[in-house]
Amino acid sequence: MTVRLAVTGLRHRYGAHQVLDGIDLFVEPVEVLCLLGPSGSGKTTILRLIAGLEPVQEGTITIDGRLMGGPARHTPPERRGVGLVFQDAALFPHLTVAGNVGFGLRGGERRARIADLLERVGLAGFESRYPHTLSGGQQQRVALARALAPSPAVMLLDEPFAALDAIRREQVREEAIALLREAGVATVLVTHDAEEAMAVADRIALLDEGRILQTAPPRDLYELPRDRRAAAALGKVNVVLGEVADGRVRTALGCWPVALPAGPVDVLLRPEWLRVLPADGEPSWRVAAIRFQGPISYAWVTADRQPSLIVLAPPGLRLDQRVSVIADSTRAVVVPTRPRHVEALDFASR
Q: Which stretch binds other proteins (CB under 8 A): 80-88, 171-179, 277-285, 319-327?
A: 80-88
Could you tell me the smallest distance in angstroms from the CB atom of residue 105 to other proteins? 9
**CA triple 229-230-233, angle to 5 deg:** 85
By CB under 8 A, is residue 188 in contact with other proteins? Answer: no
317 close to 299: Cβ distance less than 8 angstroms: yes
Residue 8 near residue 2 (C-beta atoms within 8 A): no
Site string for other proteins, 30-69 (x = CB under 8 A): ------------------x--xxx----------------
> Exposure string (b/e) for 189-202, b if CB count within 10 Å is 16 or more?
bbbbbbebbbebbe
Nearest residue (CB) to other proteins, 84 versus 204: 84
Residues 203-242 that bind other proteins (CB under 8 A): none
Phi, psi (deg, nearest 5) at residue 284: -110, 135
- Contact range with other proteins by CB under 8 A, out of 24-32, 86-94, 108-116, 198-206: 86-94
Q: Considering the complex, what minimum distance in angstroms separates the CB of residue 73 from other proteins?
A: 17
Classify residue 133 as exposed, middle or buried by CB count within 10 Å of its CB (0-12, 13-18, 19+): exposed
131 binds other proteins (CB under 8 A): no
Largest CA distance in the chain: 80
Q: Is 82 in the site for other proteins (CB under 8 A)?
A: yes
Q: What's the rounded Cα separation, in Å, for the pair 63 and 46?
A: 14
Does position 29 bind other proteins by CB under 8 A? no
Shortest spacing between CB 341 and other proteins, in angstroms: 40
103 binds other proteins (CB under 8 A): yes
CA distances (Å), origin 231, targets 238, 239, 244: 9, 9, 20
Kindly tell me which of 40 and 77 has the beta carbon lying closer to other proteins: 77
Q: Which is nearer to other proteins, 4 or 146 (CB)?
A: 146
Minimum distance of other proteins from residue 48's CB (angstroms): 8
* Site membership for other proteins, residue 317 (CB under 8 A): no
83: contact with other proteins by CB under 8 A: yes
Distance from C-alpha of 142 to C-alpha of 126, rounded to nearest angstrom = 10
CA distance 12 to 14: 7
**109 near other proteins, judged by CB under 8 A:** no
Burial degree of 204 (CB within 10 A; 0-12, 13-18, 19+): buried
Nearest distance in Å: CB 154, other proteins: 10
Q: Is 90 in the site for other proteins (CB under 8 A)?
A: yes
- Member of 42, 131, 152, 160 binding other proteins (CB under 8 A): 152
Tell me how crowded residue 12 is: count the other CB atoms within 10 A of its CB.
22
The partner residues of 157 in beta bridges, in order of sequence, read: 85, 189
> Under the rule (CB under 8 A), what is the footprint of other proteins?
48, 51-53, 76-80, 82-84, 86, 88, 90, 92-94, 103-104, 146-147, 149-150, 152
